[in-house]
Amino acid sequence: MKYNDIKTNPEVQALIRKADANLEILGFTDHSEGHACLVADRAATILKAFGYKKKQIELAKIAGLLHDIGNVVNRNHHAEYGALLANDILKSYDLSTEDRLTIVAAIGHHDESTGGAIDIVSAALIIADKTDVRRNRVREKPKASFDVHDRVNFAVTKSELKINIEKMVLSLHLEVDETICTMYEYFDIFLGRMMMCRKASELLGATFKLVVNGNKVL
């Protein structure tokens, strides 16, 4: 299986580690192998639930694994840098040009500042990445030093992405401790990402909902 081969590739592992180390120094939340694998598995789960073929599921899984490696180069335009790095890596594997470019395009379009869903693989990647909101993504450091991104993630005490195939709905359910983060702060950081998920869900023929503390807010 190509995903497992790529996951154990020493260069890929080094890129993920270095990208996460760079972001830690810059003060960003966790982007380690744990995040990469969660996004990979979640993207695969989404496409599997919607009945897509094994090949498409694997392409989404590979894109999820590699989506943040561009942070090795720079946080700004990391999606584009990651796409270029992934393109070189994937040339070593038995992938058709079309499949390789599908993965590359998904990585290059996953950031909300410059991208958007362009096909089912990129749609699954976007939803999987942007819904990874959880307390343990915050680095271990004094709470007094938390910035707004830290507070927003730390305030999320429970996070679950639900898929309802009968109703064609993807819904992110969050429990948020509003003593840590106000809803204004949450939406200031995440509204753009949630709207990106909505558009990605539409490409899959589904709707996207955000439920916070039991209340539908999107």
Which residue segment(s) compose the domain that 61 sits in?
2-216
pLDDT of the residue at 182: 87
CB atoms within 10 A of CB 94: 8
- Residue 61 contacts residue 43 (beta carbons within 8 Å): yes
Per-residue pLDDT of the chain (218 residues; tens, 9 = 90+): 699 999 999 999 999 999 999 999 999 999 999 999 999 999 999 999 999 999 999 999 999 999 999 999 999 999 999 999 999 999 999 999 999 999 999 999 999 999 999 999 999 999 999 999 999 999 988 888 888 889 999 999 999 999 999 999 999 999 999 999 988 888 888 899 999 999 999 999 999 999 999 999 88
Helix-, strand-, coil-residue percentages of the chain, each rounded to 5: 60, 10, 30
What is the count of structural domains for the chain?
A: 1
Q: Which ranges constitute the DSSP H helices of 8-119?
A: 10-26, 33-49, 54-66, 78-90, 97-108
pLDDT of the residue at 102: 98
Q: Which of 136, 132, 161 is nearest to 150 (CA)?
A: 136
Domain of 31: which CATH number?
Answer: 1.10.3210.10
